[in-house]
Amino acid sequence: MALGDCWKQLSWFYYQYLLVTALYMLEPWERTVFNSLLISVAGMAIYTGYVFMPQHIMAILHYFEVVQ
């Protein structure tokens, strides 16, 4: 029964996502395109943060002489 409850919760979150972003008004193919673009942009932002943030943090720490 836990799997069914989890599925109901995920369905409810997805429904809330559709309502908040007004995606419920779009056709299914438009919704798919929008979600694909959203996932792509979020993935690129996460990757960029993962790759470049350590360099920027180290530069800031060197600037404030926290790390030699």
The residue-averaged pLDDT of 17-36 equals 96
pLDDT tops 90 at residue 67:
no
Residue 65 in contact with residue 57, Cβ under 8 Å? no
Radius of gyration of the CA atoms of the chain, in A: 20
Helices (H), the chain: 2-21, 28-63
Q: How far apart are CA 8 and CA 66, in angstroms?
A: 49
Q: State pLDDT tens for residues 31-53.
A: 999 999 999 999 999 999 999 99
Structure tokens at 62: 């060197």
Domain spans in the chain, listed from the N-terminal domain onward: 1-64
The pLDDT assigned to 9 comes to 96
Q: How far apart are CA 23 and CA 30, in angstroms?
A: 9
The pLDDT assigned to 68 comes to 78
